[in-house]
Amino acid sequence: MKFQRPEFLILFIVLAIFYLYVRRKKKISIGLGAVKFYELSTPKFRKYLLAAPEVLLYLILVFSIISSSGFSLSSRYREVYLPGIDVMIIFDISRSMAAEDFAPRNRFEIARTVVEEFIKKREVDRIGLAAFAGAPLLICPLTLDKNFLISSLNALKIGEIEDGTAIGLAIAEGVSDLQSSKTSKVMILLTDGMNNRGEISPIDAAKMAEEAGIKIYTIGVGKKGKAKIPIEAGIGMTYIEKEVSIDEKTLERVAEITGGRYFRAENPQALKTIFKEIDSLEKGEIRVKTEARFRPIYNELDLLIAILFLLWLFLRAIPVEIP
């Protein structure tokens, strides 16, 4: 409640002066000795009806003064917004990712499509992309530019980096990329192998991540059993059969340390589901901000005044006997 022009409220003093001193207290009336009988035979409702016009006039005056002094009501505005989180996607591009157990395409292609969908969904989040094999490689730092991110993702190729699986280093890379961000930090690690390179073990890297407040979701990609992996052999391609050896224990442990989860994707459908689940798990925290605003209510008051005036007109139409 607020008055935009409180100085106009001085008019109330004028009104009070009129009411207390100027108003004629003796009104034109018929003097009677038997008023009691008339009083007793006058229903209450009729009394109110007869007394109403004067009351209405005063009400009209009061509301007019209130209206002209810019009476404002506060209306509370609730502002809700979801700040984005920061997500670092760590992509395994070791040669084994070309395994064709996710027919008709290989693991890598499938994973890429799923990640692309995921990126498109997370509109308000900053997302970064890193690839790794024998060593990690930052492809795209945290960014809101989804187009650039997707084009960098599509530009990824297997074998860009020397072969191997340096999970520990990859996590460390992700940690260093996420460290400076201020909101929730999430890392998604996609791999199909076992840590076999790098100076940092995945567990140690996970501890670093935990310290930095980063949550890691680990995803093991690949069917159980054997998978065909194509290899260049001079001219043309040849396939080798290889046991899928995902170090599930370590990945689970990594997730556990950082408060994330480990998923196993044995087929393309499962991978999609996993990303959907991560998407639903990682919602930005809801921040509610309220703000008081003042809005003058001239319109409402004017309507009220008009209604009172009309009512007054009608009540004045009651023919009152004048002596």
Partner 1 sequence: MNLPDYILEAIKRIEIISRKKVSEIFGGEYRSVFKGRGIEVEEVREYEPGDDTRTIDWKTSARRGSLYVKKFREERELSLYLVIDSSLSLDFGIPMRKREKAAEAAALLSLAALVNNDKVGLLTFGEKKGKFVPPGKGRGHFLRIIREVLVERDYGKETRIGEALSWVYRVAKKRGVVIVISDFYTESSFLKELKLVSRKHDFIGIWVRERAEARLDRISPFYGEDLESGVYSHLWPRPSVLKELFMKYESGIRTIFKRAGAGLIEIFTDQPAYIPIEKYFRRKA
Integer angstrom CA distances of residue 86 from 1, 177, 277: 42, 10, 17
Site string for partner 1, 282-321 (x = CB under 8 A): ------------------------------------xxxx
Torsion of CA 35, 39, 40, 44, to 10 degrees: 180
In this complex, which beta carbon is closest to partner 1, that of residue 33 or of residue 234? 33
Choices 37-45, 56-64, 112-120, 280-288 (CB under 8 A): range interacting with partner 1: 37-45
CB of 78 to partner 1, least distance (A): 50
CB of 50 to partner 1, least distance (A): 4
The contacts of residue 141 (CB under 8 Å, 6+ apart) are 128, 177
Q: Name the helix (H) or strand (E) containing 275.
A: helix 268-281
CB of 81 to partner 1, least distance (A): 60
1 sits near partner 1 (criterion: CB under 8 A): no
In this complex, which beta carbon is closest to partner 1, that of residue 19 or of residue 38? 38
In this complex, which beta carbon is closest to partner 1, that of residue 29 or of residue 299? 29
Do β-strands 71-81 and 287-296 pair in parallel, antiparallel, or remain unpaired?
antiparallel
Options 2, 4, 6, 38; binder of partner 1; rule CB under 8 A: 38
- The answer to whether the beta carbons of residues 89 and 116 sit under 8 Å apart is no
Residue 74, phi then psi, degrees to nearest 5: -85, 135
Q: Name the helix (H) or strand (E) containing 204.
A: helix 202-211
In this complex, which beta carbon is closest to partner 1, that of residue 28 or of residue 286? 28
Size of the site for partner 1 (CB under 8 A): 29
- The answer to whether the beta carbons of residues 284 and 83 sit under 8 Å apart is yes
Q: Which residues pair with 240 in a beta bridge?
A: 229
In this complex, which beta carbon is closest to partner 1, that of residue 49 or of residue 155? 49
The two tokens of residue 114 are: 């799923």
Options 5, 46, 293, 316; binder of partner 1; rule CB under 8 A: 46
36 sits near partner 1 (criterion: CB under 8 A): yes
Separation CA 173–CA 175 (nearest Å): 5
Options 20, 33, 292, 317; binder of partner 1; rule CB under 8 A: 33
Place of tokens 């005044």: 305
Q: Name the helix (H) or strand (E) containing 46.
A: helix 44-68
CB of 49 to partner 1, least distance (A): 8
Angle at 255 between CA 254 and CA 256, to 5 degrees: 90
CB of 23 to partner 1, least distance (A): 13
55 sits near partner 1 (criterion: CB under 8 A): no
19 sits near partner 1 (criterion: CB under 8 A): no
CB of 40 to partner 1, least distance (A): 6
Options 13, 41, 147, 237; binder of partner 1; rule CB under 8 A: 41
Options 1, 13, 20, 34; binder of partner 1; rule CB under 8 A: 34
What is 223-241 written as a DSSP string?
A: -SSEEEEEEE-SSSEEEEE
In the complex, the residues that contact partner 1 under the rule CB under 8 A are 26-43, 46-47, 49-51, 318-323
